[in-house]
Chain A
Amino acid sequence: DAKTTQPTSMDCAEGRAANLPCNHSTISGNEYVYWYRQIHSQGPQYIIHGLKNNETNEMASLIITEDRKSSTLILPHATLRDTAVYYCIVRDFLSGNTPLVFGKGTRLSVIA
């Protein structure tokens, strides 16, 4: 699976949009971009995933650049409960039943 690079930490004011970047310059054509988050002392939670088109669900939006070498997770109106570590994971959908591998992620702090 391709390597990802994320900023170590970010702050965001409550109610504002949180934009979390991820670089995955070595991504291949079969690889999806997945985002998970981990709130303190909980297991990771799925947020969103995409291949090349932008995606939106009730939690977030995922913007993938045309060359697919980077992406941005957008939380449109961050709340204090969005404070967590956010993981960007690139993974081949043909990988089958193999585990997710987590990098260091971005620690997002939402500030009142």
Chain B
Amino acid sequence: GAVVSQHPSRVICKSGTSVKIECRSLDFQATTMFWYRQFPKKSLMLMATSNEGSKATYEQGVEKDKFLINHASLTLSTLTVTSAHPEDSSFYICSARDLGAGVRSYGYTFGSGTRLTVV
């Protein structure tokens, strides 16, 4: 089945630095990928929709200048947390849909997540 690879799985960075998270679709092309954030014991919250070759669309309340998204190819989207602060510490998850699996299939595959800790 469709596989989405997300790296790194865990990162610790100093406050004020930037961190890049990669999300790759391994066996299918994804014109659109989705980025979620999850705080402890909370549900996944959609941050942004990443579109190949165009600008990402951000959910209300998500700072686009802080969470930079680049989707330069049909298999890779990156999320860069710029000038990270401790409140950005969270679990970040990407997702993509394999449209080739058919409209009525589940199609959505998720990465394994990235645990970001800002110290």
Which residues of A approach B to under 8 Å, CB–CB? 32, 34, 38, 41-46, 49, 85, 87, 93-94, 97-105
In the assembly, what is the distance between CA of A98 and CA of B50, in Å?
A: 11
Residue from A34, A42, A101 in contact with B106 in the complex, judged by beta carbons closer than 8 Å: A34
Known A-B contacts A97-B31, A97-B97, A100-B95; the reply to A43 vs B6 at CB < 8 A is: yes
Contact A93 B104 (CB under 8 A): yes
Do most interface residues of chain B lie in helix, strand or loop, or is the interface mixed?
strand
| Min C-beta distance of B46 to chain A, whole Å | 5
B110: which of A41, A44, A93, A103 is its contact (CB, 8 Å)? A44
Tell me the interface secondary structure of chain A in the complex: loop
| Residue pair A101, B46 in contact (C-beta under 8 Å) | yes
A34-B106, A97-B31, A97-B32 known; A44-B43 Cβ under 8 A? no
Instruction: Please judge, given known A-B contacts A49-B106, A97-B99, A99-B95, whether A42 and B113 are in contact too, CB under 8 Å.
Output: yes
With a cutoff of 8 Å between Cβ atoms, the chain A residues found around residue B91 in the complex are: 41
Q: Tell me which residues across on chain B come within 8 A of A103, comparing CB atoms.
A: 43
